[in-house]
Amino acid sequence: MPNTSSRALLMSASAALALAAGAVGADTLRIGLASEPTSVDPHYHNLGPNNALARHIFTPLIVQDANQLLEPGLATEWEAIDDTTWRLTLREGVTFSNGDPFTARDVIYTICRIPLVPDAPSPFTLYTRAIAGLEAENDYTLIVTTDGPAPLLPNQLSTFGIVSASVSGAEDEVVFGGDECTGVGDAPASAEFNSPDFAIGTGPYTLGAYIRGEELRLSRNENFFGDAPVWDEIVMRPLTNSGARVAALLAGDVHMIENPPTQDIARIEGDGFTISSGLSNRVIYIALDQGDAPTPGIDGDINPLQDARVREALALSIDREAIRDRLMLGLSEPAGELLPAPMFGTNPDRPAIPYNPDRARELLAEAGYDDGFSIVLGTPNDRYINDGPISQAVAQMWTQVGVRTEVDAKTFSAFIADRNGFNFSAFLAGWGAGTGEMSSPLGALVATRDPDRSLGGTNLARHSNTEIDDLLVEALQTVDDGERERLLREASTIAMDTFAIVPIHYELTTWALAPGLEYEARADQYTLGAAVLRAD
C-alpha cells in the first residue's frame, strides 16, 4: 500500500506539530470568513461580505447599528426640511487615514462616483437614484434634494462608505449634476482599491494587504475619529468550507468564525467557545404562483394556489417548530411576517403561523381538493442555511396533508434561472431587508409587478392586491415616521391575512468566538472585526 509509507511521514510530521503550535499576537484578531469579499472597492458590489469589509475602512454618512437602527456616522445630524429637501451636518475634524481632511467635497464625489464604477455587478445606484440635487452650503453642511418624497433617504445613505475625492483623482471642485457631475476626473477602476495606497477612508482600520483567496489584513487607523479600535491588526481568512472553518477555530488558527454549521454548534460550545447569535433581517419564505392556470408544477389545467384557502392550508401544514428544533437546532425563529419584530413596520403582536394539519386538510376540502393535488417545490440547496433540508421537510409536511410534493433542488445559479423564468409553482427562497424596514420585503415580494414604480421586482408568485399596493406607495411617500410605520403595518397585515406569501422563519445569524471574546450579533449579518471585544 502506498499509504503505509505516507503514514510514516505523517507521523513524524505530527510529532513536530506539537512544538510548532504558533502563538498568535495578542493584539491581532484573526477571523475565518464564510465568503470572501470580491473587492475592497466599497461601491463595486452591493453584497454582504463586501459591505462588511468596507465598513472597516470607509465610514458611511449614517451608520446602521447591530439592529439596523440609524446612528451618526460621518454626518452628525440629518433632518428633513420639507418633503423633498434634507439637510446633512457633517462631522468636523475628521481626517482620512492618509491625513487629508474630510469635507463635503468627498461626499459629493462619492455620490457622483457610484454610477461610474466600471463593471459593477450590483451597483449602489439603487440607493442614490432618489437624489436629484446635492449642494454644499459650506464644507460641513450639505443640502440634498430628492425627486419626490424620499423617507428612506437616511437608510439609503447608510449603505455606502465615503471615499477620498483627492486620492481618487478628482478636481478641487466637484459639482453634482444628476447624471453628469463635473470635476470627477477619471473614475478609478475597482481593482485599484485592492491596493493599500488607494483604499483610503475614514474607518477604524486601513487596508494592509488583500491577497485573494488567502488573506485580508487590516491595520488600526491611527487617525480614526471615534474610540480607538481594540485590535492592532485584523486578519481575515476566507474559509468557505464550513468544516475547515470550524476546525480552524477549534485549533486556534482563527479567533472567530462566521456561520458555524448548525450541527457543530453544540460541540463548539462544549469546547468552551462562545456562540453569539441573533435574529437577522432575512426571512425564509415560500412563494406560491398565483399568476396563471395552469401552472408548471401542478398537473392539469388548474391552479389551486389562486385560492387563498389552499395557500392558508399549505401555510398551516408547515411545522415551523419542528424545523427549528430538528433542522436549525434552535437557530431560527418561526415567522408570521416578512421581517422580525421590532424592526420598522412590523406588527409586534402578530404570532408565528401556527402548525395545524387538521385545519389544513379541512381547508383543502373546503376548496374542493379532498384528494389534494401534486406539486413541485423548487429550492436552492447552497444559498440559505439548510435550504435543501428545509424544503425536503416542507415537502414531507405537505405530502402528509395530502398535497403530494416533489422537491426540485438545484444549485443557486440554476435555481435563479428557473425561478425568474416562472418555471416553479412553488419555491423556497430568502429575503434580507437591506434597509431594515418593512417596505423592502413587501415592495419586492408582494406588491404587484410594476417596473415603472420599481415595485414587485421579485414578486415571482405574481400576487396582486391593489389595496396593498396603494398602502405601500403611500408609505413610500410619507416622511413622517409614525404615519409611515402605521401604513406599513397595515399593508403587512393584509398580505399575511390573505397568505399572499408564506413565511417560514427568520434566520438567526451565528458567530463562534474563542473564549474571552464577545460579539454582538448583527441583523445585517455583517462581521465587523472592529466590534469584537474582549469579555473582561
Partner 1 sequence: MTDIPNPTPAKKAKAISPLRAAMLDFAASPLAMIGLFVMVVMALSAIFAPWITPQNPYDLSQLSIMDNNMPPGSESFGGMTYWLGTDPQGRDMLSAIIYGLRMSLMVAVTATLCALAIGMAMGITAAYFGGRVDTLIMRVVDLQLSFPAILVALILLAILGKGVDKVIIALVIVQWAYYARTVRGSALVERQRDYIAAARGLGLGHARVMFRHLLPNTLPPLIVVATVQIAQAIALEATLSFLGVGVPVTEPSLGLLIANGYSYLLSGAYWISVYPGIALLVAIIAINLVGDQLRDVLNPRLRR
Partner 2 sequence: MVAYLLRRLGQSLLAVIAMAVLVFIGVYAIGNPVDILINPEATERQRLEVMERMGLDRPLWEQFWVYFGNLLQGDFGRSFVYGESAMSVILQRLPATMELALFALVLAIVFGVPLGVIAGLKPDTFTGRGIMAGSILGFSLPNFWQGLMMILIFAVFLGWLPAGGRGQTTEFLGMRVSFLNWDGLKHMILPAINLALFKMALVIRLARAGTREVMMQDYIKFARAKGLSYRRVVLVHVLKNIMIPVVTILGLELGSMIAFAVVTETVFAWPGMGKLLIDSINRLDRPVIVAYLMLIVFLFVLINFLVDLLYSVLDPRVRLAQRGAQ
Footprint on this chain of partner 2 (rule: CB under 8 A) = 1-6, 9-10, 13-14, 16-17, 20, 22, 38-39, 41, 44-47, 118-123, 125-126, 189-191, 211-215, 237-241, 243-244, 247-248, 251, 253, 382, 411-414, 416-417, 420, 431-432, 434-435, 440, 444, 451, 454, 457-458
H/E stretch holding 522: none
- Nearer CB in complex with partner 1: 98/263: 263
Strand 75-82 to strand 70-72: parallel, antiparallel, or no bridges (unpaired)? unpaired
**Cell 449579518 sits at which residue?**
525
**Cell 454610477 sits at which residue?**
115
For residue 191, the partner it binds in partner 1, partner 2, none, with Cβ less than 5 to 8 A by kind, is partner 2
313-342: contacts with partner 1 (CB under 8 A): 322-323, 326-327
CA-CA distance, 237 to 257, in Å (whole number)? Answer: 9
Sign of CA dihedral 271, 381, 215, 510: negative
For residue 213, the partner it binds in partner 1, partner 2, none, with Cβ less than 5 to 8 A by kind, is partner 2
- What are the Cα distances from residue 66, in Å, to 104, 389, 466, 503, 527? 27, 29, 34, 23, 10
Q: Per the structure block, which three cell numbers stand in for 244?
A: 475547515
Stretch that binds partner 1, among 132-140, 275-283, 407-415, 462-470 (CB under 8 A): 407-415
For residue 27, the partner it binds in partner 1, partner 2, none, with Cβ less than 5 to 8 A by kind, is none
CA-CA distance, 481 to 502, in Å (whole number)? Answer: 27
CA-CA distance, 310 to 316, in Å (whole number)? Answer: 10
- Nearer CB in complex with partner 1: 195/263: 263
- Nearer CB in complex with partner 2: 71/452: 452
Q: How far is the CB of 505 from partner 1 (least distance, A)?
A: 14
Q: How far is the CB of 443 from partner 1 (least distance, A)?
A: 32
CA-CA distance, 170 to 234, in Å (whole number)? Answer: 30
Q: How far is the CB of 143 from partner 1 (least distance, A)?
A: 52
x-or-dash string of contact with partner 1, 344-383, rule CB under 8 A:
-------------------------------------xx-
Q: Count other C-beta atoms under 10 Å from residue 455's C-beta.
A: 21
- Nearer CB in complex with partner 2: 102/285: 285
- Nearer CB in complex with partner 1: 404/534: 404
Is residue 389 involved in binding partner 1 (CB under 8 A)?
A: yes
Q: How far is the CB of 121 from partner 1 (least distance, A)?
A: 20
For residue 400, the partner it binds in partner 2, partner 1, none, with Cβ less than 5 to 8 A by kind, is partner 1
- Nearer CB in complex with partner 1: 367/414: 414
Angle between helices 308-316 and 357-366 (to 10 degrees): 160
Q: Where are the beta strands (DSSP E) in 129-180?
A: 131-138, 141-146
Is residue 226 involved in binding partner 1 (CB under 8 A)?
A: no
Phi and psi at 96, nearest 5°, equal: -70, 165
Q: How far is the CB of 390 from partner 2 (least distance, A)?
A: 19
For residue 410, the partner it binds in partner 2, partner 1, none, with Cβ less than 5 to 8 A by kind, is partner 1
- Nearer CB in complex with partner 1: 274/400: 400
For residue 16, the partner it binds in partner 1, partner 2, none, with Cβ less than 5 to 8 A by kind, is partner 2
Q: How far is the CB of 357 from partner 2 (least distance, A)?
A: 32
116-155: contacts with partner 1 (CB under 8 A): none
Instruction: Please say whether the beta carbons of 148 and 84 come within 8 A.
Output: yes
Instruction: Please say whether the beta carbons of 285 and 315 come within 8 A.
Output: no
Q: Per the structure block, which three cell numbers stand in for 498?
A: 390573505
Q: What residue spans of 73-163 are helical by DSSP H?
A: 104-113, 125-128, 153-157
Q: Which of the 8 DSSP states describes residue 323?
A: I
Total residues contacting partner 1 by CB under 8 A comes to: 32
| Vertex 58 angle, CA 57 and 61, to 5° | 150
- Nearer CB in complex with partner 2: 27/382: 382
Q: How far is the CB of 47 from partner 2 (least distance, A)?
A: 7
Of the candidates 207, 210, 110, 213, the one whose C-alpha atom is nearest the C-alpha of residue 168 is 110
**Cell 462631522 sits at which residue?**
91
In the list 395, 433, 501, 523, the residue contacting partner 1 (rule: CB under 8 A) is 395
Per-residue three-class SS string for 433-496? CCCCECHHHHHHHHCCCEHHHCECCCCCCCCCCHHHHHHHHHHCCCCCHHHHHHHHHHHHHHHH
Q: Per the structure block, which three cell numbers stand in for 146?
A: 430628492
Stretch that binds partner 1, among 81-89, 94-102, 401-409, 451-459 (CB under 8 A): 401-409
Helices and strands counted in the chain (H then E): 15, 19
x-or-dash string of contact with partner 1, 236-275, rule CB under 8 A:
------xx--xx-------------x-xx--x--------
Q: Per the structure block, which three cell numbers stand in for 384?
A: 440559505
In the list 112, 218, 407, 472, the residue contacting partner 1 (rule: CB under 8 A) is 407
Is residue 182 involved in binding partner 1 (CB under 8 A)?
A: no
For residue 386, the partner it binds in partner 1, partner 2, none, with Cβ less than 5 to 8 A by kind, is partner 1
CA-CA distance, 112 to 177, in Å (whole number)? Answer: 8
Q: How far is the CB of 191 from partner 2 (least distance, A)?
A: 5
- What are the Cα distances from residue 519, in Å, to 72, 301, 500? 21, 53, 37
The binding site for partner 1 (CB under 8 A) comprises 242-243, 246-247, 261, 263-264, 267, 322-323, 326-327, 381-382, 386, 388-389, 392-393, 395-396, 399-400, 404-411, 414
